[in-house]
Amino acid sequence: MRAQRSVFDHPLELRGPLPANGGVVLFPKPPGPTSHDVVEAVRRVLPGRTRVGHAGTLDPFAEGLLLILVGRATRAQRWFMELPKTYRAVARLGWRSDTGDPEGSLERTGRVPPKLALPTGRIMQVPPAYSAVKVGGERAYRLARRGETPRLKPRPVEVYRAELVDADGERAEFEIVCSSGTYVRQLVASLGDAYCERLVRTAIGPFRLEDADPGRVVPLEEALSFLPAVQLSPIEARRVEHGGVVKREQRTSGPVRLLEGDRLVAIGEPRDATLRPAVVFPRER
């Protein structure tokens, strides 16, 4: 595939042909580019009309792991989106930012929070005013930039772990594991006079930043290995390919990969004593 100039340090070039069912690029996003910039950079080096998306955005100032979905893998987006995220966040203490990050208007207050503990468990979180959440069909950050105050409703998120790993003067570093949709900027702001100075996403579910390789497309069959597998007979596989359900005496509690040998036929979801195909990946003809 032909290398293209991009906003990144080196031209992007994907190695090898695109797998039949597409796949996932583990991309190490640097600070500066948007997640959309990364998607466009990958799109430019793929065959024309290849679908490209991502499984969870990162703010421009943030860095770390992005899962870029290409080809048929975009149809499995929601299962990747639901994976927990792990971050390293550096809080600058005794300061405030109107955006919650270093790109906003900064004010030094000198009031260092006395307690360096982030909330954990299931919480109701109001998204930041400077976020991509839509309010009345318009992005909240666009309203905020016009001086308006977007009305954002709290929504449930879960913080599985928030550990203080280092603290020195005006800065404290945390490792955070949280559900999809959690705004780490808001967690840091909950300390009081503090904003998120640096944010690195180190993992998404089983995917790790240290394994990122922007030149490789991980085949979808391999990328979905975090889901349990159920083997189908050839007759069952044909039925599933046409949208039919398969009976299972042993019930499952969540989504599964439906396989015929090594071939991914569909992602199935349990319904009573059956597995219903939610997304089908028909055999190439």
Above 50 in pLDDT, residue 3?
Answer: no
Do 110 and 95 touch, CB atoms closer than 8 A? no
> Rounded to whole angstroms, how far apart are CA atoms 108 and 73?
45
pLDDT band at 128 (very low <50, low <70, confident <90, very high): confident
pLDDT (tens digit, 9 = 90+) per residue, 229-282? 999 999 999 999 999 999 886 667 899 999 999 999 999 999 888 999 999 998
pLDDT band at 153 (very low <50, low <70, confident <90, very high): confident
Q: Which residues are catalytic?
A: 59
pLDDT at residue 13 in the model: 83
pLDDT band at 8 (very low <50, low <70, confident <90, very high): low
Helix (H, G, I), strand (E, B) or coil at 96: strand
pLDDT (tens digit, 9 = 90+) per residue, 89-122? 999 999 999 889 999 999 999 999 999 999 999 9
Positive or negative, the CA dihedral 217, 222, 224, 225 is negative
Note the maximum CA span of the chain: 69
What residues contact 73, with CB distance under 8 A and at least 6 apart?
21, 22, 23, 24, 220, 223
> Rounded to whole angstroms, how far apart are CA atoms 257 and 259?
6
Residue 23 or 150, more confident: 23
Do 257 and 228 touch, CB atoms closer than 8 A? yes
Task: Return the C-alpha torsion angle 65, 57, 227, 263, nearest 10.
Answer: -90
pLDDT at residue 147 in the model: 66
Residue 188 or 17, more confident: 188
Q: What share of the chain is helix, strand, coil (3-state, %, to 5)?
A: 15, 40, 45
User: Which residue in 83, 84, 87, 8 sits closest to 42, CA to CA?
Assistant: 8
Give whole-number Cα distances, 62 to 21, 83, 203, 204, 263, in Å.
Answer: 30, 19, 13, 15, 37
Residue 16 or 130, more confident: 16
CB count within 10 Å of CB 173 equals: 18
pLDDT at residue 196 in the model: 97
User: Which percentage of the chain shows pLDDT scores above 90?
Assistant: 75
pTM above 0.85, yes or no: yes
Q: Do domains 85-204 and 229-280 have the same CATH topology?
A: no
- Domain coordinates of the chain in residue numbers? 85-204, 229-280
pLDDT at residue 136 in the model: 65
- In one-letter notation, the amino acid at residue 112 is V
CATH number of 229-280: 2.30.130.10
What secondary structure letter does DSSP report for 282? P
For 85-204, the fitting CATH number among 3.40.190.290, 3.40.50.12780, 3.40.1440.10, 3.30.2350.10 is 3.30.2350.10
pLDDT at residue 5 in the model: 39
- In one-letter notation, the amino acid at residue 257 is R
pLDDT (tens digit, 9 = 90+) per residue, 156-185? 999 999 999 999 989 999 999 999 999 999
pLDDT at residue 4 in the model: 39
pLDDT at residue 127 in the model: 78
pLDDT (tens digit, 9 = 90+) per residue, 45-80? 998 899 999 999 999 999 999 999 999 999 999 999
Give whole-number Cα distances, 105 to 148, 176, 262, 284, in Å.
Answer: 16, 25, 53, 53
Average pLDDT, the chain: 90
pLDDT at residue 2 in the model: 34
User: Which residue in 118, 262, 114, 266 sits closest to 189, CA to CA?
Assistant: 118
For the chain, give the number of residues: 285
> Rounded to whole angstroms, how far apart are CA atoms 206 and 225?
9
Residue 131 or 259, more confident: 259
Do 73 and 21 touch, CB atoms closer than 8 A? yes
